[in-house]
Structure 1
């Protein structure tokens, strides 16, 4: 009896065919890949887009109907060909995959030169990694491409602000309110809701009431600046994504009246971008990715911005590869913490995974009571809240097995 499509045998055949199709797309090997599966239509187009990127430089020819034998793939140096490829990947793959493929194309196929053309910039899908690439190329951008590049950067910045601003403001404001709360309030200052929650363990069933052994009061209204925050950002080439996120967070923090936010970027020199914090796009275009690193000099400048040590937070975002005077850098951190400054060291501020960093310097900072750890953008507001409340940052530090490498 012939197996129909609805019979068990038909289902088995269909499942086997689908498995071969998927393996063919994964292997990308054409006639000699062992699957015996030929692709056509949308599958062939997807396969061609993948081959152009990941099998570039292999010899061979593309077969009829989009079937690829011993492939000759690649995007070459043709802007029209790259633009068509970008259109294809946006059509056939989800946005998260498109971003990965774009980043791989820039790195594997050396497409930096083509990004200098406005037509190319209009074709790519903007993301954090593309912004980092554009910032590293900004001095080489021709005049006609600069406006387009700024539009690309502005779009990514706006998307990040929309995603991150609410959580940041909520976490920071809550931390400031809690740090201002008083423990010996007058009667009219008692926060009854929090007082009752804090004393539920003292509930007296016999009297059906709570005995408030600890009173919690509302913080007295303080309209002035409650904390000084200094963001000190390493702008070496490996920190590109961190620079982008830090610029956005700096603008969000600067918009909060309870904080006085300063932002400095550094390589072997230090640039203060505080006066541009109302426009994070300007902040990013004020950076210069690449070059050496002098953390000690950057911390010296940041220390000079501190006028109220007990109410100040210095956030150093760096992979800690120090090109300056290491011993003086460590002494400076020790001096700031002894004076009451809350020093936070982030090895990266990005979603890129485990960063490379100087383990010796990280260990030395840990001995000073300043743990160094990588931080995702989603976690940053909670780190800032903990710093404002002077809570331990240990919960944010990964366990040894999960530590960055």
Structure 2
């Protein structure tokens, strides 16, 4: 792109061999004609008619010449800039693409229009991304949340059989009496009686409007991971202007994702009303609202519900996004209003999410990242 294309554009350098092939591949996307307009011999042709075979070859070319991270960017540009989403309804196209979170979001927005022949391939693509995310996030999430649950369940007045002797000794080392070679335990550390039952109720309330696609993907994975833990009860609710409870599908995040309907409006108040109606142990409940806060419902009622939940003892977390895509667009007025209620709204990466959940479970300040979205 820097050196130019046909005629070297005055640079004095005409690409050849692999450089020329890379140049043609880039020009197909960024030269104005589009991937579907690359002819058999590499020349440019107008229009996108009959472009699927050429598009499949182009997808293969970019995977040959560029690393995965660049391939994903180029695919995203091809889908977003050139309006090629419809091509993803063809199985041979899906088999050629590099699967990533953005592609999953696109497929979910299209899945209602998918022909039956494409659905199996689409599910396989989504499964590839979900499995990759689970491998990356599951172990750390379980370890972090389990540790937080254990710490939150400790008590300084345990029954004898509930005493954690290792932690009790460490907490009282300054009381060691060398002449008796013993530690005098001034403070006992142990677990409460409910240590082996369900310790926390977690409600993930996820905005499924089109702009939240990556957040929906990550939330479904985290929901499945949390649901696999016996010590927490997890509920997953997705919403636009309607509310859908997908808790029964949490054993498979792919089923969860295909149960969503990306796009449409947003009624946060209605979603929070549903979540609020399902809370039975407010002091042991964490509600995580994942939304850009562009409310189409009744704003004052939404804020009133948040205030009521917090007053009852619910730990309320507002995430403007749950993704790696950088600072999101969001309603700053609503974010400020939540912050005034003691519920800071901030964007959260998937890697930070386990720490956010641990802080909420332990009822300590949330690890709000610095930046314009940390409000």
Q: TM-score, normalised by structure 1?
A: 0.84
Contact 2:205–2:237 under 8 Å retained in 1: yes
Contact 1:196 1:212 in 2 (8 A): yes
> Is residue 39 of structure 1 aligned with residue 39 of structure 2?
no
Does the residue aligned with 2:266 lie in a helix, a strand or coil?
Answer: coil
Deviation at 1:156, TM superposition (A): 1.2
SS at match of 1:26: coil
| Distance 1:213-1:291 versus aligned 2 partners, 3 A rule | same
1:125 Cα shift?
A: 1.1
Residue in 1 aligned with 2:344?
371
Segment drifting more, 187-196 vs 88-97: 187-196
Q: Aligned to 1:113, what secondary structure does the other structure show?
A: helix
Q: Take 2:123 and 2:4, find their aligned partners in 1: how far apart are those partners?
A: 37
Structure 2 distance, partners of 1:293, 1:360, is 16
Query: Aligned to 1:282, which of 255, 278, 291?
Result: 255
- 1:398 maps onto 2:369 in alignment: yes
Structure 1 unaligned blocks of 5 or more = 1-24
Shift of 1:213: 4.7
Report the Cα offset of residue 404 of structure 1: 6.3
Which of 43, 50, 53 is the equivalent residue of 2:29? 53
Change (3 A) 1:44 1:225: same
Q: CA deviation at 1:398?
A: 2.9
Q: 1:301 to 1:206 in 2, by over 3 A?
A: same
What secondary structure, in the 3-state scheme, does the structure 2 residue paired with 1:228 have? strand
SS in 2 for 1:147: helix
Cα distance change on mapping 1:316 and 1:75 into 2, 3 Å: farther
**Rg: which structure is higher?**
1
Within a 5 Å distance, the mapping from 1:272-311 to structure 2 comes to 272-311=245-284
- Between the aligned partners of 1:198 and 1:139, the Cα distance in structure 2 is 58
TM-score (norm 2): 0.91
CA RMSD of aligned residues (A): 2.6
- Looking at structure 2, the residues matched to 98 and 355 of structure 1 have their Cα atoms a distance apart, in angstroms, of 23
Match of 1:253 in 2: 226
CA distance in structure 2 between the aligned counterparts of 1:317 and 1:156, rounded to whole angstroms: 20
CA gap 1:52/1:221 in 2 versus in 1, 3 angstroms: same
The offset of 1:148, in angstroms, is 1.0
Which consecutive unaligned segments of at least 5 residues does structure 2 have? none
Alignment match of 1:117 (pick from 90, 97, 112): 90
Counterpart selection for 2:48 from 53, 76, 80: 76
What per-residue deviation string (whole Å, max 9, x for no partner) do you get for residues 258-311 of structure 1? 111111111111011111111111111110000000000000000011011001
Q: 1:197 to 1:223 in 2, by over 3 A?
A: closer
Task: Report SS of the residue matched to 2:318.
Answer: strand
Contact 1:293–1:324, Cα closer than 8 Å, also in 2: yes
**Alignment size in residue pairs:** 370
What is the aligned partner in structure 1 of residue 130 from structure 2? 157
1:113-135 CA distance string (max 9 Å, x none): 11111110111111111110000
Which deviates further from its counterpart, 102-111 or 323-332? 102-111
Out of 314, 335, 357, the residue aligned to residue 341 of structure 1 is 314
Distance 1:196 1:36, change over 3 A: farther
Q: In the alignment, is the contact (CA less than 8 A) between 1:355 and 1:404 conserved in 2? A: no
Instruction: Compute the displacement of 1:76 (Å).
Output: 3.2
Is contact 2:99–2:128 with CA below 8 Å preserved after alignment? Answer: yes
Written as runs of structure 1 = structure 2, the 5 A alignment for 1:3-402 is 25-57=1-33, 72=44, 76-77=48-49, 78-185=51-158, 189-199=162-172, 213-220=186-193, 222-393=195-366, 396-399=367-370, 401-402=371-372
Distance 1:340 1:57 in 2: 58
In structure 2, the CA distance between the partners of 1:188 and 1:254, relative to structure 1 (3 Å rule), is: closer
